[in-house]
Every structure is written in structure tokens, then in C-alpha cells.
Amino acid sequence: MRLEHFQRNVDRFRQDKRGVVAIMFALALIGIALAVGLTLDYSRALRAKGVLKSAADAAVLAALSATEADYANNGGVSDPNTMIKDAEMAACGAFKANAGNYYSELSPAPQPCPAPGNPAITVTINGLNVVANVGFQANSPNLFGALANSPTMNISQMSDNASVAQEQLPAYANFYLLLDNTPSMGVGATSSDIQKLINLTTNLTATVNGTTYQNPNEASCGFACHEVHPCSASSPPSGCGSTSTSKTNYETNVYAPKFDYLTLARNNNVTLRIDALRQATQSLMSLAANIETANHIPNELQFAIYSFGASADAEQSCALAKIAPPSASGGSTCNADASVSGDTGALATQAQALDLMSTQYQNQYGDQDTSFDTVVPALQKILPAPGDGTSQASAQEYVIIVSDGVTDEYHNGSRVIAPINTALCASLKNAGVQVATLYTTYYPIPNNSFYMQHVAPYNPGGANDQLAAAMQSCASSPDLFQQVAVGGNISQALQNIFTKLLQRSRLVQ
């Protein structure tokens, strides 16, 4: 009976379910608490990783800042090993400051700055290219994970996940501006200036000793050609007189101020394209000065400015004329050199000398005054070999050509009026010189016989502008070509080119 009684008690206990819910709830509560705890551990680990990642980001930026400071404070000639050491020290300090309390979770334990290890800081300098890389190894302690045999959570960021920043230090660069100042750049700067010139040069007369003379120059002209002694021509215009006395009198007292179209333009406040180019050159010097000041690197950007010559006589004899800085020979146009200057204030003042090429009289030298075939090779001959920009002695070399793109010269026994010979630019580029071009669109002047016969066939300003195509081909790449129509902003276009060249100068060499 006792056995049966015991069996009944066991069966009764087995069938009684009143305490199961409590037991199951207790067991479930343990699991829920563990899950919540692991979630809290994971959230804390993410927060720690985010802070350490931000610290690594700050570290790479601090490394680059330290490199820039060394480079600027030492005029761009800092020893790379010193720059790297300073950059690593700055990166380590920035990491520690930004990591805060999570800095202690680095594992293995961090060493005093700037010892390598953890955080893992690497700075490399290759020419002008600086790369900073910061990674870290860390374990976030788990409060609840230990119950699941997981005391820590790995939050390291190394290798491909490390923070990386890079930059190109400012490069030393020399800019050589070849500015077209030949008679065609005497066109009015805007359409209204051109029309004003045409009006001023229509039906001009001058009276000498009671005799009135009709303008012997080309009338109704939109170009302010600078003829300083029109009556000195081998076949002088009618009205110049038959004797040297009357001829001289006519030049001095009447001809020059009345019929020299440049003087006419100046006296009537007509702005010419050469004026716009001069102002653009001076504005460029101001921009360069601001950049150099911001970079804190003396003579980082240096310039030389050239033209085709102050006069047709000079162009025929010397090919290349230097405007700024003054040549070592004392400014002789026949001894133009490649010396550059970083004194942009002085260069802006010296650029004031840029003006329209003068001629003695109309058709002097057959008006063949735009000889790219002699000017460009003359410039290339004096240019130093391009460097990588890491020092003044190894400066990068850039040539900027500003022109309406028409060559007018005596070549192979005959006069050639055509687009610029792109082979000249190819020679510069093959020598490692970067070439940029600014095309000042040749403005159509239908009432000008020279234009209609010799320039109009190249469709300047049209859909098939062969002058524009040649100027663009001269540039080292399409983005180094700018075109400005009559009335357009030459200054802005020139600054656009300069900015593009600066961007190139900061590429990895």
C-alpha cells in the first residue's frame, strides 16, 4: 500500500502545473537580461569605436597640418625626415586628445608619443605628395559578455579600414606669359569701342599751312594702329609734302596726333583689347600675391612677362621682348632672358609697359609683325628644364600664350597669314613645359579689306573657327584653353587658366 501511495503522489505532482510558469519565467528572465546586457555591450563598443575612429581622423589631419606648417615655416625646404617626425608627433597627440577615456582601451597599450605601434601612425612624403595613415587596435570590455565567455569585443581599425588623408604641398612654379601686342590687338575691347573707332576714323582731315588734307590712312578702321611717323614711308601718303621741311612739319604738328589711330583712341577714351590684356595681367599679379601670402612660401610663384616687341623694328631684329622683370642686360629687347620674379607688386607696375606695337608707317615690313615661328622658339631656347616643384631650383615651368591666334610673318620666301603653327607648342610640350592658351577671338570687321581677304576664311568666332582650334591644340590639355569673345572678361579667363595650372602643380609628380 505504501508503494501505491507513493506512486499516486508522484503522479499527482507530475500532473500539477501550477509552479511551471514561475520556473519558466525565471529561466526566460535570465536570457532576456543577458540579451539586454549584450546589446548594451555592443552599443558601448560602437560608441567607443566611433570615438576612436574620430580620433584617428583628427590625427591624420593633424599630421598634414604639421607638414604644411614645416613646409611653410621653412620656405618649402624642410627635410622630409624632420617633417615626417613632426607629423607623427602631431598625429599621436591629436589621437590621444580626441580619444578621451577610450584611449585606455587600446590593446596592446599605447606607447608615449610619437612611438609607433598603437595607434599605428604612418606618414610618407613622396616629392610634394604627403600621405598620413592612422589605425588602431582596441578591445571594448563587455559587462555581460563575460557570462557568455566573451569578455571583450574587438573594435580595431587597421589596414584598409584605417583613416587616411593625403595632400599635395604647394609647388614652386614659374609662369612665362607670352602676350600678343601686335597691331591686331589694337581692336576695340568691346563692340561699342570698335564702332567708336570706326566713327572716329571716318572722313578725317588735317590742315597744314592753309591746305586741307584727307586722311591718307585706311578710313573707317576698327583697329587703333600705332603709326608714329606715317610720312616716313618709302612711298609717303599724299599730302606729306615734297620737301623734308614740310614733311617733318606735317608729321610733328598734324599727322601724328591726328592720324595715328592709337593716339586718336587714347584721346577719345576708347578701350582697346591691349588695354584689357594689360589690366588682366596686373590683376593676375594681385591674385598670385594673395595665394603666396596664404601659403606663407616666399617666391613660390614667380613670373616673367614677354611681348612681341614695343615696335615693328624691335620685333624684326629681336623676336622676343621682355617686359617684366627687367632683363639683366638692362632691358634690351635683344637680350631677353628667363629670369623670373616673385615680387608681384613690382611686376604689376612693370606690366604697365605692355602696349600696342608701334610701326613707323602703314605696311612697314609688309605688316608682317606676328612671327610666332621666331618668338616661340626664342622663348623655348631660354627656358630652364622643368622640375618637380619641390624647390626654387627645381620649379615647374608653365607658358601661357595670349593671342588672337593669327600669325603674320615672312616665311619660306612669302608672306604667311594663318593660324598659329601648333608644332611650335608641341615642341614646348615635348620638352616637359605645360602650355596654356587664351584665345582672344578675332572680331569680324567686314568693312576691313585685310580682314576679309586674309582672316575671314578662317571663320573667327564661327562654328568652324580654325584659329580657336589651333590655339586649343597648342594647349597641353583642353582644360588649359580659354576663349574670350570681344567684350568678354579677359581678366577672368586668364585667372581661370592660372587656377587650372595651380591645380596641376599640386598633382603627384
- Per-residue pLDDT of the chain (509 residues), as tens digits, is 556 665 666 566 556 555 555 555 444 555 555 555 556 767 888 888 999 999 999 999 999 989 888 887 776 556 888 889 999 999 999 999 999 888 988 888 888 887 668 999 999 998 888 999 999 999 888 775 555 566 788 888 998 888 999 888 888 899 999 999 988 898 889 989 988 988 888 777 666 566 666 655 556 677 777 777 777 766 666 556 555 555 555 555 555 555 678 888 888 899 999 999 999 999 999 999 988 888 777 888 999 999 998 887 888 888 789 999 987 654 444 668 889 999 999 999 999 999 998 888 777 777 777 889 889 999 999 999 999 888 888 899 999 999 999 888 877 778 888 899 999 999 999 999 999 999 999 877 777 777 788 888 988 888 899 999 999 999 999 999 999 988 899 999 999 999 998 876 654 33
DSSP string, 219-242: SS-SB--EES-GGGSSSPPTTS-S
My answer on whether 99 and 114 are in the same domain is yes
My answer on whether 351 and 251 are in the same domain is no
My answer on whether 440 and 303 are in the same domain is yes
Q: Which three cell numbers stand for residue 241?
A: 609734302
My answer on whether 357 and 401 are in the same domain is yes
Look at residues 487, 370, 408, 445 and name the one whose alpha carbon lies nearest to residue 219: 445
Distance CA(442)–CA(507), nearest Å, equals 34
Domain range enclosing 218: 204-266
Q: Which three cell numbers stand for residue 354?
A: 605692355
In a domain, 121, yes or no: yes
Total number of domains in the chain? 3
pLDDT of amino acid 491: 94
My answer on whether 312 and 213 are in the same domain is no
Q: Which three cell numbers stand for residue 343?
A: 615680387
CB atoms within 10 A of CB 121: 27
Bond prior to 108 in cis (omega within 30° of 0): yes
pLDDT of amino acid 2: 58
What string of H, E and C letters represents the secondary structure of 284-343?
HHHHHHHHHHHHCCCCCEEEEEEECCCEHHHHHHHCCEEEECCCCCCCCHHHCCCCCECC
CB atoms within 10 A of CB 5: 9
In a domain, 86, yes or no: yes
In a domain, 9, yes or no: no
Maximum Cα–Cα distance for the chain, whole Å?
166
My answer on whether 475 and 432 are in the same domain is yes
In a domain, 211, yes or no: yes
CATH number of the domain that residue 454 is part of = 3.40.50.410
In a domain, 227, yes or no: yes
My answer on whether 160 and 241 are in the same domain is no
| Residue in the block written with cell 623676336 | 319
My answer on whether 45 and 107 are in the same domain is yes
In a domain, 19, yes or no: no
pLDDT of amino acid 218: 59
My answer on whether 177 and 98 are in the same domain is no
My answer on whether 334 and 451 are in the same domain is yes
* 443 CB-contact burial (10 Å; exposed 0-12 / middle 13-18 / buried 19+): buried
In a domain, 330, yes or no: yes
My answer on whether 262 and 392 are in the same domain is no
pLDDT of amino acid 255: 56
H/E element, 62 = helix 20-73
- Strand pairing category for 414-419 and 406-411: antiparallel
CB atoms within 10 A of CB 13: 9
CB atoms within 10 A of CB 221: 23
In a domain, 198, yes or no: no
My answer on whether 220 and 294 are in the same domain is no
- Strand pairing category for 120-126 and 129-135: antiparallel
| Residue in the block written with cell 585606455 | 104
